[in-house]
């Protein structure tokens, strides 16, 4: 499934625990060594990017498609999972800057009755995961068919996902504590539709993808296929050729490339996408259960051996990606592997996060 708080916290703990990196090594060489090690440990393929100012360098190892032994291509598209959440947060923040909503609006103002007993839940609490809404993606009715690849294009409306979630125990009262659930961003997408009359994908395209000229970034709504040059995703080396985008929707359906996502991240953290007031809201964090790992609106702030940074993990069936960016977005490290099977693996997490952090801190 897409990023869980367990994965985020694990990554943060790895960041905090990593030793300093020798300054003699070039960052791209460190990332390449990490990619090689990941393939040697049985990942099918790895692609990565190091962007520092105007310079961008790439790494790759292994295969983008096992059956044809095609080399992993740093220009290939892949499913970005929970990286989608930052795009959705930007749309809502832009709508607020246009005075079309407030992040402090109760969600019942916009989607009355969609979430049972939703009194006290605000749009902001959806975006920073303090709403208390339970996770729909852990329900076997969603997770088992999704993992097995049965009927890859079933009907999963946002409301149906919320209905499944609300049959599970809540994580707390509104505003009580941070608890990461994909349900929050499914509901956030419903708010976007209620405010604009349009699908979140349309708003993301016109507000972010087109202005930033992200030519290889899409927000699929019903099409389960990837197109053109794409990185094949695997679970235990089983190719996952199609994935129903409705399963994760506004929580994790988007497709992008290393270059496009790095361009978005730089625009996001540099303040290009939002007015100052909304930029401040984006980067205002709430604590998670581990010190040094705080969550903003679709982004996470963490500590590295070389100082504070923004970091995130985007996971979806077949893909595991992570980003570390300087607070102003001038330095970015991205790493993507084309295997993920929905289960946490601390050893693999340490390997990938460790390579990203060592690269980020080598300057």
Which pLDDT band holds residue 5 (cuts at 50, 70, 90)?
very low
| Residue pLDDT, tens place only, 199-244 | 999 999 999 999 999 999 999 999 999 999 999 999 988 999 888 8
Is it the case that residue 102 has pLDDT exceeding 90?
A: yes
What percent of the chain has a predicted confidence (pLDDT) above 90?
Answer: 82
Question: Which positions are annotated as active-site residues?
Answer: 82
8 Å CB contact between 77 and 231: yes
What is the overall mean pLDDT for the chain?
91
Q: Measured between alpha carbons, how far is 39 from 59 in angstroms, rounded to an integer? A: 12
| Residue pLDDT, tens place only, 245-274 | 999 999 999 999 999 999 999 999 999 999
**Count of alpha carbons within 13 Å of 285, Cβ hemisphere only?**
16
Q: Is the overall model pTM greater than 0.85, yes or no?
A: yes
Average pLDDT score over residue span 159-183: 97
Please name the fold of domain 5-361. Beta-lactamase (3.40.710)
Q: Which of 283, 226, 282 is nearest to 257 (CA)?
A: 226
Q: Which of 54, 18, 52 is nearest to 34 (CA)?
A: 18
Is it the case that residue 187 has pLDDT exceeding 50?
A: yes
8 Å CB contact between 264 and 212: yes
| Residue pLDDT, tens place only, 34-84 | 999 999 999 999 999 999 999 999 999 999 999 999 999 999 999 999 999
Is it the case that residue 20 has pLDDT exceeding 90?
A: no
| Residue pLDDT, tens place only, 130-150 | 999 999 999 988 988 888 765
Is it the case that residue 284 has pLDDT exceeding 80?
A: yes
Is it the case that residue 285 has pLDDT exceeding 80?
A: yes
- The 10 Å Cβ neighbour count of residue 49 is 23
Residues with Cβ within 8 Å of 43's Cβ and at least 6 positions away in sequence, in order, are: 62, 337, 338, 339, 348
Task: Kindly state the DSSP code that residue 207 receives in the 8-state scheme.
Answer: I
At residue 322's C-alpha, the angle toward residues 327 and 251, to 5°, is 95
């Amino acid at each position: 499934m897409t990023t869980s708080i367990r994965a985020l916290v694990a990554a943060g703990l790895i960041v905090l625990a990593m030793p300093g990196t020798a300054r003699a090594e070039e960052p791209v060489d460190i990332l390449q060594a990490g990619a090689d090690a990941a393939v040697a440990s049985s990942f099918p393929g790895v692609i990565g990017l190091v962007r520092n100012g105007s310079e961008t360098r790439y790494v790759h190892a292994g295969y983008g498609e096992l059956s044809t032994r095609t080399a992993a291509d740093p220009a290939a598209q892949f499913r970005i999972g929970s990286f989608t959440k930052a795009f959705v947060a930007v749309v809502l923040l832009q709508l607020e800057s246009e005075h079309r909503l407030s992040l402090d609006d109760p969600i019942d103002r916009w989607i009355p009755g969609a979430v049972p007993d939703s009194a006290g839940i605000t749009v902001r609490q959806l975006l920073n995961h303090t709403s208390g809404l339970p996770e729909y993606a852990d329900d076997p009715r969603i997770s088992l068919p999704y993992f097995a690849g049965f009927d890859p294009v079933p009907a999963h409306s946002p409301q149906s996902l919320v209905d499944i979630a609300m049959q599970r125990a809540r994580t707390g009262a509104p505003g009580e504590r941070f608890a990461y659930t994909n349900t929050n961003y499914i509901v956030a997408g419903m708010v976007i539709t209620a405010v604009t009359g349009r699908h979140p994908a349309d708003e993301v395209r016109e507000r972010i993808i087109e202005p930033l000229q992200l030519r290889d970034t899409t927000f699929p709504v019903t099409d389960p296929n990837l197109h053109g040059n794409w990185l094949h995703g695997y679970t235990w080396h089983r190719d996952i050729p199609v994935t129903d985008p409705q399963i994760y929707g506004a929580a994790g359906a988007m497709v992008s490339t290393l270059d496009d996502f790095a361009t978005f991240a730089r625009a996001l953290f540099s303040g290009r996408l939002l007015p100052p007031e909304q930029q401040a809201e984006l980067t205002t964090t709430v604590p998670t259960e581990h010190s040094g790992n705080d969550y903003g609106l679709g982004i996470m702030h963490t500590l590295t051996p070389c100082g504070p940074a923004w970091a995130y993990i985007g996971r979806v069936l077949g893909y595991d990606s992570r980003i570390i960016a300087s607070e102003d977005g001038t330095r970015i490290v991205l790493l993507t592997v084309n295997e993920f099977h929905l289960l946490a693996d601390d050893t693999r997490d340490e390997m990938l996060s460790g390579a990203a952090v060592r690269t980020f801190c080598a300057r």
